[in-house]
Amino acid sequence: MRLWLSKNSEVPLREQLVRQVMLGVVSDDLKPGQRLPSTRELARRFRIHSNTVSAAYRELERRGWLESRKGSGVYVRPLGEDATAALAARLGLDQLIAAFLSVARAQGFSLAEVQARVKHWLELEPPDHFLVVEPDEGLREILAAEIGEATGFRVRGASLEDCARGGATAGAAVIALYGQAEEVRRALPPGVTPLLLRARSVPESLKGEERPPPDAVVSVVSRWPKFLEWARVILVAAGLDADALNFRDAREEGWAAGLRSSALVITDALTFEELPPDCPARVFRVVADSSLDELRAFVGRYLTGAR
């Protein structure tokens, strides 16, 4: 396999080497069990420090791409069935990328030039998914479930830490709740602006609901503890006795026992999928209808062609 390293690139030499070896494996230029050049050989070939090559090889070993055999050298690690299947799904794209890079380098373009132009063209493409940025993992999963159901578009979630590490927002239309707007903006790369969602109000949550009879059993179920607190506030505002409500944490064993005997089961969009069949369920949603309408319109305007 031919390697290219550019000392003028913004990408560190170690990372250039790591990426090219990975690309060589997935494109089948590097075969399972094939021996790689020694640290000293690569360092001498590219006139770089041997520590740079050693660090790249160690990183590739840590990620499971290479294995070191004592007294023999560094080899491409044979992939297990699961890893092979996962790579096969991306192999066609990786082969296109490998061919493109080979042609570009053969025509004299540097890695820095290729990277800059690819970045330019990627920025012109419409987003291909929503990225929900929310510090609370439980709420993040519920928001993703609601948005995916409402828009029919692919949705991923990310924490503030994910955004700070970089790369998480690539190809995404970023979404956040109004209450987290400033914190999310600080975590995002420069130039990335989130779409802001409004939370559903108590009157909106209760719209069209009939008050259950005084002796009715009303259960509230969720994997997100704050949903249980939020639902309590809404139901008490509707005039229900808080002591008569049955709250269930869906992370606990046996949480679903007896739910069918409830007159009403109130839950979130994510936990709803796990309820026993025939439960009289009502989903209390977090995102306001107006915000969901805005996201549907966004999909219609910008994202339909990216499906």
| pLDDT tens readout for residues 187-209 | 998 888 899 999 887 666 656 66
3-state secondary structure of 170: coil
Place of tokens 């999310």: 184
User: For position 88, what pLDDT does the model report?
Assistant: 53
User: For position 114, what pLDDT does the model report?
Assistant: 86
Closest CA to 251 of 226, 232, 231, 233: 226
What contacts 244, CB < 8 A, 6 or more positions away? 218
Q: What is the mean pLDDT of residues 214-242?
A: 83
Distance CA 172, CA 306 (A): 11
Distance CA 150, CA 288 (A): 11
What is the pTM (predicted TM-score) of this model? 0.60
Q: What is the mean pLDDT of residues 11-15?
A: 83
What confidence category does residue 112 fall into, taking pLDDT thresholds of 50, 70 and 90? Answer: confident
What does the mean pLDDT of the chain come to?
83
User: For position 264, what pLDDT does the model report?
Assistant: 86
C-alpha 131: how far from chain center: 7
* DSSP codes of every residue in 175-235: EEEGGGHHHHHHHSPTT--PEEEPBPPHHHHHTTPPPPPTT--EEEEESSHHHHHHHHHHH
Q: What is the mean pLDDT of residues 275-298?
A: 89
pLDDT at 13 over 90: no
User: For position 261, what pLDDT does the model report?
Assistant: 86
3-state secondary structure of 247: strand
What confidence category does residue 77 fall into, taking pLDDT thresholds of 50, 70 and 90? Answer: confident
129 or 242, which is more confident: 129
Tell me the backbone φ, ψ of residue 287, rounded to 5 degrees.
-85, 135
